């Protein structure tokens, strides 16, 4: 297995492309937007430069990684010859279903299909594909080149052979595969998102301020990043989307998004990607300055 197609050139897509290319695979990175592809390649260049400056790769390895990536704006052209296609598009069910319907049309029945979804049902995605036993969840963590975990999610029909194939592949990428079953949020987000949501509720109820909440979790619980800072890093819109998937899937009020989170997403305060969330990133990408609307909290 040498050719991998990655659909989506955003944060996760370019990170996945980088990781496969650095490990010697030919990567076809696909996005309908030329601008997104250019931005994705710029991010890969920047991350490789950082790795070279730290001495973890050579200049030759950097250039070899870049040369392993080919960009496409047409999905049909991009998936030709791919042994594995990984979908890393926006976390929207209707978009993913449209993509997988196209993959079903354009790819051979031997092609393995993976989705990087962090919460959406693998079984539901596989329902639009002939031979759904070849569809699996391959949930990478951000930043992909650095984070060692891959959450491998079996859909209702996913075969043992495909599961073993993906687990072995993750190992070849230097990752640790952890298997999970197909329920909303899987393992990572089923535990993480309620914690983030509860941190937002704690702020919403004015129990403590932004930096105080994050400090308690970092200094008292040993977390490398506070939950509000982490929410900004993930993207508040992504957090809201995942919580909605879990709430719809379980019908349990403990997964209901905090009204403050909903309001912030509606106001386009999405975290680092928009320049402001719980922290202000207008001067630095580090969470050093609390957003002005929360300075007087509680």
- Binding residues, as ranges, are 8-13, 31, 91, 96, 118, 142, 273
Residue list for the binding site for NAD(+): 8-13, 31, 91, 96, 118, 142, 273
Query: Cβ contacts of residue 248 below 8 Å, gap of 6+?
Result: 184
Long-range contacts of 205-214 (CB under 8 A, 24+ apart): 206/297, 206/298, 207/298, 208/297, 208/298, 209/290, 209/294, 209/297, 209/298, 210/278, 210/279, 210/290, 210/291, 210/294, 210/297, 211/290, 214/287
Element (H, E) at 152: strand 149-154
CA–CA dist 177, 162 (Å, integer): 13
Distances in whole angstroms, Cα of residue 282 to Cα of each of 65, 80, 88:
32, 42, 28
| Residues carrying an active site annotation | 118, 139, 151, 189
Cross-strand partners of 103: none
């Amino acid at each position: 297995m040498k050719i991998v197609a990655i659909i989506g050139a955003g944060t996760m897509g370019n990170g996945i492309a980088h990781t496969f290319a650095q490990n010697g695979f030919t990567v076809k990175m696909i996005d309908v937007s030329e601008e997104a592809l250019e931005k994705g390649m710029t991010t890969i260049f920047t991350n490789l430069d950082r790795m070279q400056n730290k001495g973890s790769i050579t200049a030759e390895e950097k250039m070899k990684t870049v040369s392993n990536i080919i960009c496409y704006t047409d999905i049909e052209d991009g998936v030709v010859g791919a042994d594995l296609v990984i979908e890393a598009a926006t976390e929207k069910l209707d978009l993913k279903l449209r993509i997988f319907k196209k993959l079903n049309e354009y790819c051979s029945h031997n092609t393995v299909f993976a989705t990087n979804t962090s919460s959406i049902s693998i079984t539901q995605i596989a329902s639009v594909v002939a031979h759904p036993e070849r569809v699996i969840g391959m949930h990478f963590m951000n930043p992909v080149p650095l984070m060692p975990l891959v959450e491998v999610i079996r859909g209702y029909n996913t075969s043992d052979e495909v599961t073993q194939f993906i687990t072995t592949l993750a190992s070849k990428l230097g990752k640790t595969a952890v298997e999970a079953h197909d329920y909303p949020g899987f393992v990572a987000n089923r535990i993480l998102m309620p914690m983030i949501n509860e941190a937002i509720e704690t702020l919403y109820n004015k129990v403590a301020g932004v930096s105080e909440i994050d400090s308690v979790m970092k200094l008292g619980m040993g977390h490398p990043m506070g939950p509000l800072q982490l929410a900004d890093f993930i993207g508040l819109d992504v957090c809201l989307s995942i919580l909605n998937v879990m709430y719809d899937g379980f019908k349990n009020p403990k997964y209901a998004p905090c009204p403050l989170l909903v309001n912030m997403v509606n106001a386009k305060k999405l975290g680092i990607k928009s320049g402001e969330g719980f922290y202000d990133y207008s001067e630095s990408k580090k969470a050093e300055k609390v957003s002005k609307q929360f300075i007087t909290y509680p």
